[in-house]
Structure 1
Amino acid sequence: MVVLMATTNPARETKISRQVVKNSVADVGAVLDEMGASSVFLVADVNAYLGSGAAQALHECLANRSVTLFTRFDVNPKLEQVLEGLELFKQARARVILAVGGGTALDIAKLINYFAAQSVEPLEALSPKGGVVPGVPVIAIPTTAGSGAEATQFAVLYVDGVKRSVEHANIRPTVAVVDPVLTASMPQSVAVHSGLDALCQAIESLWSVHADEVSIPHATEALQLLLPNLPHVGEGASTEVRAAMCQGAHLAGKAIDITRTTAAHALSYPLTSRLGVPHGAAVAMLIGPVLIYNSGVGTVDCNDVRGPKTVLHRVEDIVEMFGCKNAEEGATWLTGLVVAVGSPTRLGEVGVTSAEHVKALAAEVNTERLNNNPRKFTPEAVEKLYADLI
């Protein structure tokens, strides 16, 4: 954590009241000018900030502004780290928050801004109950193509080891700067895992119980961009591939901003928190089995009020985009894609080898996160899905 300069008392208004999407980091200076931002609170993943070229690209537009930098957070951010950033932000009294990095940096910035604006303590604010006050403008600049955090109204953190999600429209960044140039330096593993995350977001959004006429086109276009380009991500990826992945990831983020994620994400979280499996890799292991599971939906176990026919139609649409005829073929195709990009497909590959391990994972699943899934999950169904993946 480095405090570069002192700051002055902020005015908490902005001329930009809805999310604006920019395609170049070169636009940030003009956006800051429009906001009247003489002081900036910069939340950054240091490696991404320097390695992506963002630091160099932003140098000129930040040179004559008061900047406070916060970098002290983990990949899986803890409440204590958010509170440390919150205290620094309050001291800085900055007029704008600038977030640069992957999903973690963006979520940290969103949470700091959200908590700072509320009249209640952060722990109470984890569950908004109305009267939520907007914070300062947030400019989100992703350096990965995958999390979609620049487009969403929720953010995640860990409280006493438990993953929590905070959701409110005021959490969504004011401006998203989606510049594929900044993703060129992503390590191969980061590019793969973030791309897999975006792919799973798009798939899950399509079958979510909240899928609608706005989310479905976003998710469909996201898949059309991600599917042909994901095998080519990483070091040496072409400009065209990086641009397609960035656009696809952003569209997937816009889709889940409406629908939220479903079972594949819900079942993946214990793999990350308990075993340290990278998020995108964890979700990718589960997306195929959940596809098959959802294809078996019936009247009795359907979560979607529109009925099982709607769910099955969505599943058909998804597998057709894979070039497959049914869910089983689709799941096999997905497994092949995951293998091709070098990510694990079996729980045994990440250390889950026994019934005891399965029960421990199942016990950590947040069942509320399964409510968006179109087919209901019983505890027994959760255990079986895990067990079949060993």
Structure 2
Amino acid sequence: MAMKGVDDNGSVMHGTLMTRKFLAPEIILGDDSRELIGQYALSLSGKNIFLVSDPGVVKAGWTGEVADNLASAGLDVVTYDKVTPNPRSKEVMQGADVYIDEGCDLIVAVGGGSPMDCGKAIGAVASNHCHVLELEGVDEVQFPAPPIICIPTTAGSSADVSQFAIITDEEKKRKFAIISKAMLADLALIDPVITTSMSLELIADTGMDALCHAFESYVSNASSVITDMFALEATRLVSEYLPKAYDDPDDIVVREKVMLGSMYAGLAFSNASLGLVHAMAHSLGGYLDSAHGECNAQLLEHVVAYNYPQVPDRYRDLEAAMSGNSSSTDSGPDSLVGMIRGLNEHLEIEPGLSNIGVKEEDIDFLSHNALLDPCLATNPRPATLEDIEELYHGAL
């Protein structure tokens, strides 16, 4: 007879299968799927579209193409392209003002994680008539955001399929998370063709972000059989095809595989959450305005070594997925850490947080902020302030 109880996270258990929910947007995946934007905006009853993007995506031509497609469908378009690489609360509030003043009724976000997170936060602020800082935390968005369609231009952030929006509080130099099903896009148009405009550095950084999503969701204490499936396949795809995409960025078949891995990783972490790597990376991004993917790449091996004793079987699964073998050796963390280092070397990511401007005197501030990050709650091994400080020192 199956026993029923409640685990430490409050999940109901029947036998060994814990009850978990799984949320995902409608997803259209395929080459040139971005060209469907007009018909899907109309299907969501959009009339006056608020198009969120950033200067780099505008320069690449994708923002203008999407705007033209929307206009061809008979829709009015208001473009907001003032989003910076780590979107700030001021940008969200300015965008919400424009959205309301222009009488917009649907948001389309075109870009990497920054425009998509900013667009999702703009929608939540507009519908809740509040400051974005009031939405920090889990399930703090009281009223649903307006319809939003995300078109990712990078293969890594997975903001298009996640319940997260990460925003920078520029006054306190910290990143904060809005985690809510209201942050889930109504539709993700995932088009690998768009990723062909990425620089090699962006391919590397965003790809490692996707790998970190897969790793952290798989070892998360909120993982499930559904998220595990996505996390392991994401690990396999990104590990195999990210180096190939870096070596031959014009190979669209390889780009498709990395994009698919990124999507799988996003579906995993959106529902299982993340861990210590992201808690520490968010702190770095908020304080130093550092590239999020590079921060993750620098920190992953150190956190894997820290967490490994707590969940060795899980990390052995990840090692097997990363290597393409059906099983891995019981050699402790060294083999897996070596694989991560080898991948970073292939992607020419130079090790050491000092290379992105971190100084010894920054570590106290960074550690205190990381300790407060909600991603820490689902890390498999508890971490104290001293633990985090030691990890930052080790990654310098």
- Shared topology, TM-score over 0.5? yes
Deviations 1:57-85, CA, capped at 9 Å, x for gaps:
55133232111111122111111111100
Structure 2 residue identity aligned to 1:74:
T
Deviations 1:279-301, CA, capped at 9 Å, x for gaps:
1111111111111111122xxxx
Alignment map for 1:186-335 (pairs within 5 Å):
186-234=198-246, 236-297=249-310, 311-323=311-323, 325=329, 326-335=332-341
Residue 364 of structure 2 aligns with which residue? 359
SS in structure 2 at match of 1:72: coil
Q: Structure 1 vs Structure 2: percent identity of aligned residues?
A: 27
Report the alpha carbon displacement of residue 314 of structure 1 after superposing the two structures with TM. 1.0
Residue 152 of structure 1 aligns with which residue? 162
Which of 90, 98, 102 does residue 92 from structure 1 map onto? 102
Structure 2 residue identity aligned to 1:186:
M
Report the alpha carbon displacement of residue 92 of structure 1 after superposing the two structures with TM. 1.7
> Is the contact between residue 25 and residue 58 of structure 1 (CA under 8 Å) also seen in structure 2?
no
Alignment map for 1:58-69 (pairs within 5 Å):
58-63=67-72, 64-69=74-79
Calculate the TM-score normalised by the size of structure 1.
0.86
The answer for unaligned runs of 5 or more in structure 2 is 1-22
Structure 2 residue identity aligned to 1:345:
P
From the superposition, tell whether residues 71 and 61 of structure 1 become closer, same or farther in structure 2 (CA, over 3 Å).
Answer: closer
Residue 109 of structure 1 aligns with which residue? 119
From the superposition, tell whether residues 115 and 360 of structure 1 become closer, same or farther in structure 2 (CA, over 3 Å).
Answer: closer
From the superposition, tell whether residues 39 and 18 of structure 1 become closer, same or farther in structure 2 (CA, over 3 Å).
Answer: farther
Question: Which runs of 4 or more aligned residues in structure 1 lie more than 6 Å from their structure 2 counterparts after TM superposition?
Answer: 128-131
Which of 359, 384, 387 does residue 390 from structure 2 map onto? 384
Q: Distance in 2 between matches of 1:76 and 1:312?
A: 34
Structure 1 residue identity aligned to 2:134:
E
> Is the contact between residue 156 and residue 207 of structure 2 (CA under 8 Å) also seen in structure 1?
yes
From the superposition, tell whether residues 134 and 361 of structure 1 become closer, same or farther in structure 2 (CA, over 3 Å).
Answer: closer
SS in structure 2 at match of 1:377: coil
The answer for unaligned runs of 5 or more in structure 1 is 1-16, 298-310
Calculate the TM-score normalised by the size of structure 2.
0.85
SS in structure 2 at match of 1:314: helix
Q: Distance in 2 between matches of 1:376 and 1:353?
A: 25
Residue 14 of structure 1 aligns with which residue? none
Which segment is superposed worse, 91-100 or 117-126? 117-126
> Is the contact between residue 54 and residue 84 of structure 2 (CA under 8 Å) also seen in structure 1?
no
Q: Distance in 2 between matches of 1:145 and 1:274?
A: 25
Deviations 1:325-352, CA, capped at 9 Å, x for gaps:
3321110110111011011222343344
> Is the contact between residue 52 and residue 182 of structure 1 (CA under 8 Å) also seen in structure 2?
no
Residue 72 of structure 1 aligns with which residue? 82
Structure 2 residue identity aligned to 1:372:
T
Q: Distance in 2 between matches of 1:71 and 1:384?
A: 39
Which of 43, 49, 52 does residue 43 from structure 1 map onto? 52
Q: Distance in 2 between matches of 1:275 and 1:120?
A: 27
Q: Distance in 1 between matches of 2:359 and 2:70?
A: 52
Q: Distance in 1 between matches of 2:24 and 2:274?
A: 23
Which segment is superposed worse, 122-131 or 259-268? 122-131
> Is the contact between residue 86 and residue 289 of structure 2 (CA under 8 Å) also seen in structure 1?
no
Report the alpha carbon displacement of residue 120 of structure 1 after superposing the two structures with TM. 4.5
